[in-house]
Structure 1
């Protein structure tokens, strides 16, 4: 390592031979050690400072990467490469002389006279050189903290060559994998031939434009695996990919017109990468070592075109290949043998085919809907909306299928449908064009299935009836057991809290607070400590003996809620941890007392600022946008990223608490609903929540889902932008809600009038208008039209540039409230915005 340093050491040794003074010799030895120490820290190669096997250089700031000479496992050949420092020399991320190995340990990596980076063997022959067309004599090579080796001109600092443009088998953060349709030039990674031979193997991985880039793995030039199109957030053919998982992926265009895909982790210390194995699998390696995370190839269905044209693959089925509905095997004998490459053919000709063949026109073709599919390859793209997408395909005789992806657009196919796959989750709805008679066959099958289900239901009912008495007794026993918790006295509570009762409600993970301790902290629940009053009961400020400030929610004995809501909040929030969710410290159940203890929020709730003429000045646009983003992140965690899928059902301004930096935290989970892993929607006869924030399908029919919370978020977003309550229009002479007012301004092309004058600044106008647009998309009348939370966040952050036109919101006319009390009955707990059974002022 460091040839120049060794020459310097040799010179020092000669000088020491001429020096007779012992003390001077000692000083020279020390100077030698210091020079060696400083020399080993360099990250640069020059003509006068090459590296010689087995020397190396290390990237300076993070010391994450090392450049030097190595030999693969089970091989004596030497190569120049880059690998992770302090992790594993076997995890090589780049190789220079892949095709021409060094046969001994006499190699040198240096800058030659014309400024090109070269690898020399023991006979000073060039066995590898950087591909440079505009070299400069005075150049140097530097290993960056990203793992990129750059050759640059010393005088100007211009980079004239970099290893990231010539990757080996590894895709590092900030590397660009690109392709140019016009020139055909590609930057892609290529596999090793084997773990002991880094020369170029049979597999390569890159992207293929033009309409929307897809990632491909090719085997000897033929497609081997396909990711599906990039929709601006994810590759829609990778079922377990979302905008957070595999974070940092993005696409773009280079100045030369080529399209590229790259990725970058927010956490710069994350050393994960993607590597193409000699077997043709693209894998994610965590922290640079061989711990494998994500895999491109998980089953035979991931092999490109496994089931041939018009065939579809499902790894859960046996056999894995089947023909699409309306099609049959092209070669039944080969198909039955498991040779599916011949694919499938249409059973009944389409209308246009019948006319062209001189037959009767007959009835019009139709579309069969296939859910959760990997869309076929070679799609044509257009910006048409979903309804127009269907019409365009139906009017085009050559169109044989279409699909629509929100935020991406319309895809259609005119050639063979190849490389389709059935996913168990995620995927896209694929519509296959078939003759009208094929639609009738599907209807007949549905009738048979329906009759079978009815007969099976009757049989199950008879069996159930035989066990009815036993089940009735068990039900009575469970009710008695559930009521035991109400009989706790203060002395027995700590003991019983770890018994059978708490196994039912699952609160054993929460710390228990003593009633006397809470009474002392809140000055015996004095009126001066009261923070607010909701339908659940009062909330008090308190301070524990260790100085921690808390908010105590005390269940009122006269509350319309009770044990069910109390236990629901305990079970839900005790299992959630997120910076935008209020934190629960514990609970107290003693006698008839039931209390929840939260972190204290000094700025109380959002509505205390938003609708107060004096305080709203404290919320400028940047603070309001930060609050909007924080609420969105909290909802995303509840809906998708937590170990439980939670629907809040009562999202509103008074349930958004603000900490001392005005960061938002979602609170009050008494009405929340836990969904199963595969559960998308639920019905209830007990509608809970707040009028003005409840979605129409929930308020009218008791149906709720993620889209119910999205509706509430949309109302909240419009309130934050306008500074007006949704309910403030109930008695307005315009006779409309905030949603109706916003819709009226939108249609009048005057939506800017909705913005609160207190926060309006011309430099933020486009961002504010975009937020209003997103808010209107969230409050559309039909749930299917509303985006999911992850899409909403991408829209707000402008990751999705083109937003769809919003449809008419729900409840745009004045709500009739005079009959509410008489219509709610015992099964509904609903309130009018600021008078709600779940409202709690600040904690």
Structure 2
């Protein structure tokens, strides 16, 4: 391809015109007589100016003064012309250099650019280079989310076999995936087609593609296959808090300190969303099934399909969504959504950890009772509080710590949002109750880290 030479910028053209103007002006000044038609001409020699005829000697003194003055004026004009000419030349050189640099940048190798753009374009990629970085969670970089091939996800989940099913959500199922090299992941398969499903899919990709925090689930990639939408996450080996508390084990693997660690991890994740994201993020669907646990019971918040970015929301601009038992009263009744709505849901999770009960339980075929309504009268009574604690952890904690956690839970589930604490205040209240070995500041004189770990697994 032929490339045209650089063109002088408009400022260079102007500079040339200015330069020519001053040259012409200077030439005209040299041609004009110094004194008019009746004045004798002045010639020059190497010794300076002198009269060309004897008439000059006979000139009166005032004529001589005029001659000297006009000679100085001529020198000044010459100096100004030289200065302006130098400036014009400098401007020509500068503008030409700038035009050349711009031309070089605009005519870089187009084939290289096309190659680079094609490398970062969204397309299916093989799993090996992505999953090789599974442990460092660097799958998502600079806002770019990896796109997986459907055939790869299908083979890694054994064609989405029921034996690989990890959980069921509102819009689809989550499957365990084993990739080449033995690396594990979790694949959420959404049954696409509905507007709500599509919105949640895009919302989760957008938010998790930008969020980086130890207590927020890591997004590894996604896949589009006809009407189906799939999202790939890191695998959390212990499943959800809901499964641990209300599943077959009924919380037997969760000691008091492990439960406090889970609460602390969740509070840290919420604090990041509320205080460190700009604008803040309201999760809007915090619950025990959306708190996932790894092999060390390290908790991470998941499922950001309903999350909202921004400040206060109202029902005029936001569709009412959430899970019964976790939805704050002001949001349920008036549609008012703030960060305090997440604090309410956190308080419900804290009550689950304390009592081992579900957020809503059936009292009769047509009657349900929430854990908040049932527990509130007893949480504030120190004589009754120990009796409603989960039998798995009853009498295994310092009573002062139990009363403190109960007080935090009571504040979090207050009907009036202004009475609820900020999640940062909740976080500071929980840190002293968690052993140092588990991420808090509590020093245990009678328990070693090994004993704490043993209590968490038995």
TM range (shorter): 0.5 to 0.7
Query: Per-residue displacement from partner, 1:221-248 (whole Å, max 9, x unpaired)?
Result: xxxxxxxxxxxxxxxxxxxxxxxxxxxx
* Inter-CA distance 596–695: structure 2 relative to 1 (3 Å threshold): same
Q: Which residue of 1 aligns with 2:421?
A: 787
Q: 1:529 deviation in Å?
A: 1.7
The structure 1 residue matched to 2:375, chosen from 735, 739, 742, is: 742
Q: Which residue of 2 aligns with 1:583?
A: 218
* Inter-CA distance 642–547: structure 2 relative to 1 (3 Å threshold): farther
Q: Give yes or no for the alignment of 1:604 onto 2:246.
A: no
Q: 1:526 deviation in Å?
A: 1.9
The structure 2 residue matched to 1:674, chosen from 299, 309, 312, is: 309
Q: Which residue of 1 aligns with 2:175?
A: 540
Asked if structure 1 preserves the Cα contact closer than 8 Å seen for 2:330 and 2:337, the reply is: yes
How many Å separate the matches in 1 of 2:247 and 2:187? 25
TM-score, length-scaled by structure 1: 0.33
Q: 1:658 deviation in Å?
A: 0.6
Q: Give yes or no for the alignment of 1:620 onto 2:255.
A: yes
State the structure with more CA Rg.
2
How many Å separate the matches in 2 of 1:710 and 1:718? 12
Asked if structure 1 preserves the Cα contact closer than 8 Å seen for 2:143 and 2:209, the reply is: no
Asked if structure 1 preserves the Cα contact closer than 8 Å seen for 2:359 and 2:371, the reply is: yes
Q: Which residue of 1 aligns with 2:23?
A: none
The structure 2 residue matched to 1:751, chosen from 385, 392, 408, is: 385
How many Å separate the matches in 2 of 1:689 and 1:600? 24
* Inter-CA distance 792–575: structure 2 relative to 1 (3 Å threshold): same
SS at match of 1:625: helix
Equivalent residues in 2 for 1:276-295, closer than 5 Å? none
Q: Which residue of 2 aligns with 1:723?
A: 356
Asked if structure 1 preserves the Cα contact closer than 8 Å seen for 2:281 and 2:308, the reply is: yes
Q: Which residue of 2 aligns with 1:636?
A: 271
Equivalent residues in 2 for 1:312-351, closer than 5 Å? none
Asked if structure 2 preserves the Cα contact closer than 8 Å seen for 1:555 and 1:594, the reply is: yes
Query: Per-residue displacement from partner, 1:543-572 (whole Å, max 9, x unpaired)?
Result: 112332011111114667321110000001
* Inter-CA distance 700–665: structure 2 relative to 1 (3 Å threshold): same
Asked if structure 2 preserves the Cα contact closer than 8 Å seen for 1:582 and 1:598, the reply is: yes
Query: Per-residue displacement from partner, 1:315-373 (whole Å, max 9, x unpaired)?
Result: xxxxxxxxxxxxxxxxxxxxxxxxxxxxxxxxxxxxxxxxxxxxxxxxxxxxxxxxxxx
* Inter-CA distance 730–579: structure 2 relative to 1 (3 Å threshold): farther
SS at match of 1:550: strand
Equivalent residues in 2 for 1:522-537, closer than 5 Å? 522-537=157-172
Q: Which residue of 2 aligns with 1:16?
A: none
How many Å separate the matches in 1 of 2:359 and 2:170? 20
The structure 1 residue matched to 2:398, chosen from 738, 758, 764, is: 764
Q: What 5-or-longer segments of structure 1 have no aligned partner?
A: 1-493, 499-505, 800-843
SS at match of 2:206: helix
The structure 2 residue matched to 1:694, chosen from 324, 327, 335, is: 327
Equivalent residues in 2 for 1:105-504, closer than 5 Å? none
Q: When you count helix as a share of all residues, which structure comes out higher?
A: 2
* Inter-CA distance 730–560: structure 2 relative to 1 (3 Å threshold): farther
Query: Per-residue displacement from partner, 1:128-167 (whole Å, max 9, x unpaired)?
Result: xxxxxxxxxxxxxxxxxxxxxxxxxxxxxxxxxxxxxxxx
Q: 1:583 deviation in Å?
A: 0.7
Query: Per-residue displacement from partner, 1:763-821 (whole Å, max 9, x unpaired)?
Result: 4221122111101100100111111100111222369xxxxxxxxxxxxxxxxxxxxxx
How many Å separate the matches in 2 of 1:624 and 1:692? 20
SS at match of 1:562: helix
* Inter-CA distance 729–576: structure 2 relative to 1 (3 Å threshold): same
Asked if structure 1 preserves the Cα contact closer than 8 Å seen for 2:326 and 2:344, the reply is: yes
How many Å separate the matches in 1 of 2:301 and 2:247? 20
CA RMSD, aligned part only? 2.7
Equivalent residues in 2 for 1:627-666, closer than 5 Å? 627-666=262-301
SS at match of 1:538: strand
Q: When you count strand as a share of all residues, which structure comes out higher?
A: 1
Q: Give yes or no for the alignment of 1:593 onto 2:198.
A: no
Asked if structure 2 preserves the Cα contact closer than 8 Å seen for 1:536 and 1:559, the reply is: no
Q: 1:620 deviation in Å?
A: 0.8
Q: 1:527 deviation in Å?
A: 2.1
The structure 2 residue matched to 1:571, chosen from 200, 206, 231, is: 206
How many Å separate the matches in 1 of 2:142 and 2:228? 16
Asked if structure 2 preserves the Cα contact closer than 8 Å seen for 1:535 and 1:559, the reply is: no
Q: What 5-or-longer segments of structure 2 have no aligned partner?
A: 1-119, 125-140, 434-458
Q: 1:761 deviation in Å?
A: 2.6
Q: Give yes or no for the alignment of 1:515 onto 2:167.
A: no
The structure 2 residue matched to 1:776, chosen from 410, 413, 416, is: 410
SS at match of 2:224: strand
* Inter-CA distance 578–718: structure 2 relative to 1 (3 Å threshold): same
